[in-house]
Amino acid sequence: MTTLYARELEIAQLAVQRAAILTKRVFLEKAKGTVSKDDASPVTIGDFGAQALIIAALRAHFPHDAIVAEEEAAQLRADAGLRDLIWGLVRETKLEDVAAEGLLGGGVRDVEDLMEVLDRGRSEGGRIGRVWTIDPIDGTKGFLRGGQYAIALALLEDGDVKVGVLGCPNLPVDDAAPLAAEVGAEGEDGMGVVFSAVVGQGATSRPLGAGGLAEGKRIQMREVKEMAGASFCESVESGHSNQSEAAQIAQKLGITKPSVRMDSQAKYGSIARGAGDIYLRLPTSKTYQEKIWDHAAGDLIVREAGGQVTDTKGQRLDFGVGRTLASNSGVIAAPAAVHGRVLEVVQEVLGLN
Ligand SMILES: Nc1ncnc2c1ncn2[C@@H]1O[C@H](COP(=O)(O)O)[C@@H](O)[C@H]1OP(=O)(O)O
Ligand SMILES: [Mg+2]
Ligand SMILES: [Mg+2]
Ligand SMILES: [Mg+2]
């Protein structure tokens, strides 16, 4: 018997694992330590490199699927030096596990092909058919500070998330490790985890570094018995989420612990495995529209782990309207049993009811 989306899941996991090899190398060689000779930002190099590797794998296995990816090749066309640098990295990056690399495949032929691959990510998305969405480095600020970031990949079908994969190089492998803002050193043993979910099949975690085809371990949100013991997380960036409103909400809910601030969709993965309980993302402006690649994988992983994810209006995130979540406002993610209570207080504090 073949399980639904088994192949999509396997390819997505391996593609994310391979892309993480590139981002980790870029961090070690370009962001940390010695000053690099080139003046391109390590984020730019990592973004393009990781996106190219993921799209190349999708092109090889699912050539007819549409792709909505964050980065565009235009900037690279005008910069031959940067292009060659990225091409060199992409060409060299392989999964350590030879069998896994063979299975994943999806090479990039040359520099011109690199541009072509990157441009495959320009789909407008929408409510029809199969659409992959990619954030090659989610949480660029976290990436640069050696903090949390994620490589995010999800498959939408007719606007619904069917498969979600999040690679988090700087989160501990151990699902029981408490939620913490600080990070272990990159490359340290026990760091790096991949969260995955398939609709209707639950959510799992497995080590990112294992490189191969390890079985995932089932993850579940923690049961919140009383709010006093609950922990919530939010963005590090006060420009991405209103932290003072979040503090008021937490206080009204009776949460006593201070928030854990971390970058990227690592927040979704962390609450999905019960390292934390609630994720609040409260709009800071009326005009900013959240991007689908910033939420699709995390939304499914949390829901498949027993959570509920809505916006501040109480509506499910709608990934079928295009490249952005144009009809939503903010994100409230919590265990299903307490989500209603959290939402009530969010709406009270934001004056939405
Ligand atoms: N004004 C904003 N409000 C909410 N999210 C934003 C805003 N500006 C950028 N972002 C996005 O938030 C994501 C990071 O979230 P977090 O703060 O939770 O780590 C990034 O993908 C970032 O996009 P970008 O990659 O374009 O910078
Ligand atoms: Mg992002
Ligand atoms: Mg990004
Ligand atoms: Mg960005």
Arithmetic mean of pLDDT, 121-149 = 96
Same domain, 210 and 91: yes
Among 63-67, 135-139, 187-191, 324-328, the minimum mean pLDDT is found in 187-191
The number of distinct structural domains making up the chain is 2
Residues with active-site annotation? 47, 140
Residue 43 has pLDDT above 90, yes or no: no
- Ligand 1 pocket, residue 352 CB under 6 Å: no
Same domain, 182 and 296: no
Q: Which residues surround ligand 2, an ion (CB under 5 A)?
A: 135, 138, 294
Q: At 323, phi and psi to the nearest 5?
A: -75, -15
Over the chain, what is the mean pLDDT? Answer: 93
Which residue did the predictor score with more confidence, 240 or 32?
240
Same domain, 186 and 278: no
Same domain, 196 and 125: yes
Separation CA 327–CA 210 (nearest Å)? 39
Kindly state whether residue 1 falls inside one of the protein's structural domains. no
The H-or-E segment that residue 67 falls in is strand 66-69
Arithmetic mean of pLDDT, 292-301 = 99
**Count of C-beta atoms within a 10 Å radius of residue 94:** 16
CATH, residue 195 = 3.30.540.10
CATH, residue 301 = 3.40.190.80
Same domain, 208 and 263: no
Separation CA 156–CA 346 (nearest Å)? 28
- Give pLDDT, residue 209: 85
Same domain, 236 and 133: no
Q: Using 50, 70 and 90 to split pLDDT, how confident is the model at 45?
A: very high
Find the distance separating the first CA and the last CA of the chain, reported in whole Å.
Answer: 49
Arithmetic mean of pLDDT, 128-143 = 97
Separation CA 257–CA 301 (nearest Å)? 24
Cβ atoms 167, 146 nearer than 8 A: no
- Ligand 1 pocket, residue 238 CB under 6 Å: no
- Give pLDDT, residue 37: 45
Among residues 161, 185, 219, which one ends one of the domains? Answer: 219
- Ligand 1 pocket, residue 235 CB under 6 Å: yes
Same domain, 48 and 197: yes
Same domain, 150 and 233: no
Same domain, 297 and 339: yes
Among residues 219, 254, 288, which one ends one of the domains? Answer: 219
CA 17 to centroid of chain Cα atoms: 12
Atom of ligand 1 nearest to the CA of 264: 19
Kindly state whether residue 190 falls inside one of the protein's structural domains. yes
- Give pLDDT, residue 34: 41
Residue 303 has pLDDT above 80, yes or no: yes
Among residues 203, 219, 235, which one ends one of the domains? Answer: 219
% of the chain surpassing 70 pLDDT? 93
Separation CA 119–CA 67 (nearest Å)? 9
Name the pTM for this structure.
0.96
Identify which of 83, 55, 59 has the alpha carbon closest to the alpha carbon of residue 69: 55
Kindly state whether residue 76 falls inside one of the protein's structural domains. yes
- Give pLDDT, residue 40: 66
Instruction: Provide the edge-to-edge strand list for the sheet that holds 307-310.
Output: 260-261, 232-234, 278-281, 331-335, 307-310
Cβ atoms 187, 29 nearer than 8 A: no
The range of the structural domain enclosing residue 336 comes to 227-350
- Give pLDDT, residue 30: 76
Q: At 329, phi and psi to the nearest 5?
A: -145, 110
Alpha helices in 174-263 (DSSP H): 243-253
- Ligand 1 pocket, residue 139 CB under 6 Å: yes
The H-or-E segment that residue 205 falls in is strand 203-207
Residue 272 has pLDDT above 80, yes or no: yes
55-69 confidence digits (pLDDT tens): 999 999 999 999 999
Kindly state whether residue 325 falls inside one of the protein's structural domains. yes
**Count of C-beta atoms within a 10 Å radius of residue 106:** 19
Same domain, 209 and 240: no
Kindly state whether residue 36 falls inside one of the protein's structural domains. yes
% of the chain surpassing 90 pLDDT? 87
Identify which of 108, 119, 115 has the alpha carbon closest to the alpha carbon of residue 78: 115
Same domain, 164 and 122: yes
Separation CA 323–CA 326 (nearest Å)? 8
Arithmetic mean of pLDDT, 181-210 = 84
Query: Ligand 1, atom 11: nearest CA belongs to which residue?
Result: 240
- Give pLDDT, residue 298: 99
Residue 84 has pLDDT above 80, yes or no: yes
Arithmetic mean of pLDDT, 266-292 = 97
